[in-house]
Amino acid sequence: MIFSSITFLFFFLPIVLAIYYIVPKKFKNLVLLAASLIFYFFGEPVYVVLMIVSIISTYIFGLLIDKYKENSKFFLILSICVSVGILIYFKYTNFLIENINLWLKHKIDFIYVALPIGISFYTFQMISYTVDVYRGDAKVQKNILKLATYISLFPQLIAGPIVRYTTIEDQLENRTHTLEKFSNGVRRFIVGLGKKVLIANVLGELANKFLGTNDATVLFYWLYGISSMLQIYFDFSGYSDMAIGLGKMFGFEFLENFNYPYIATTVTDFWRRWHISLSSWFRDYIYIPLGGNRVSKIKWIRNILIVWMLTGLWHGASWNFVIWGLYFGILLLIEKLFLNKILDKLPNIIKRIYLLLIVMISFIIFNGNGVNEILKNITGLFGIGGISAISSESLYYFKSYLIVLVIGIIGATPIMKNFFQKEKLSKFVNCLEPIFLVLILLISTSYIVDGSFNPFLYFRF
């Protein structure tokens, strides 16, 4: 079940909200836990058991780490090994077999392992919980139902943001429910739904048109690069908006996950704004424990490359994801070692063009199916290989999707937000906002009912 589905919007969510607000406070977490397990059951009936086993394992390790201080490091390592081991088995088994087979005379057979949706997200949440208990940053949770609610919480279960236990530790016990918070949550959810259905899905159609054509031109390569870049942003940030909005409806405050990354001026700035919960997780639980930048230059370079190789692998069991991660790692090193000194002297517009080109190429790598396809799609941007600049087909798609592209480009910046927040427009905006939100909901629903292109990219993670 995904948020942008009729089942979720008009059946699951209203029923859960009604029950949640009817029951007394002491039963609200229980309602959320039951709803979360049912939500997960819709997508992965078998792997609900895996999630429950993982929750019980994390709960036990948390108690052991807290009780046996002298052996807490041993239990922490064991808990991480169990969590990572499960992740590796379900996500990377065939990737490992494929690469091992390159060196073997007698090949190992592949095994069928379905990837449990959201396993990368909830595995990182479980690891952060046990690490924070070990460090003393979080109190051990002795109520397994509360811990289970945190790990399985359906608003952020399958696609993040990666919510740390310390963020909602107090909220599991005491959270406020107000009409203002609920209405803000509804507003945030509808905006996210619109970003997902009306922008990301439509641009995803354009990207698919390119992948299915035999008439690739320079114009079409650029349309593919720009539409892919905007699609993944609106797809994932839209889903994060919906998750944050749902959290507010149930009284939770999740941290922001995106902050207009496409207005960044450097790669470092971009990763402060893009998938914030993931980049901060790798910083606090991998990069800093490795020594961060408080080590020799060689070890610092090693730390950067390890973190970004793992970041790439986290996204998927394929070499294009590893290349994608190392691509960003190398660019970060280049910037920090010397390029920032040059960039600092350039106008912001030049720096933003530089960043957008870097990011567009990165998502061509991210979406690539093999090195040959990646190189073809990158070189095609610059007309290498003697391809024509334009064709009637590419021009047709350019005209057909121009309005959505323009909306996407403007929407990826804070231009409209800043405009409507002006004091002179506040009364006007307050009057029209409810109408605008209802229109977004109605139009999005019509697209969903129509059975239009409605994937979710991050399900594969």
How far apart, in whole angstroms, are the C-alpha atoms of residue 133 and residue 140? 6
How far apart, in whole angstroms, are the C-alpha atoms of residue 448 and residue 433? 22
In single-letter form, the type of residue at position 350 comes to: I
Residue 307 CB-density burial (10 A; 0-12 exposed, 13-18 middle, 19+ buried): buried
| 315 is a catalytic site residue | yes
How far apart, in whole angstroms, are the C-alpha atoms of residue 58 and residue 79? 7
How far apart, in whole angstroms, are the C-alpha atoms of residue 332 and residue 53? 39
If one counts every other C-beta atom within 10 angstroms of the C-beta of residue 187, the result is 18
How far apart, in whole angstroms, are the C-alpha atoms of residue 157 and residue 318? 23
Q: Which helix (H) or strand (E) holds 362?
A: helix 348-366
Contact 310, 325 (CB under 8 A): yes
Length of the chain (residues): 461
How far apart, in whole angstroms, are the C-alpha atoms of residue 104 and residue 304? 32
How far apart, in whole angstroms, are the C-alpha atoms of residue 182 and residue 244? 11
- Pick the catalytic residue from 106, 177, 275, 315: 315
Question: Catalytic residues, which ones?
Answer: 315
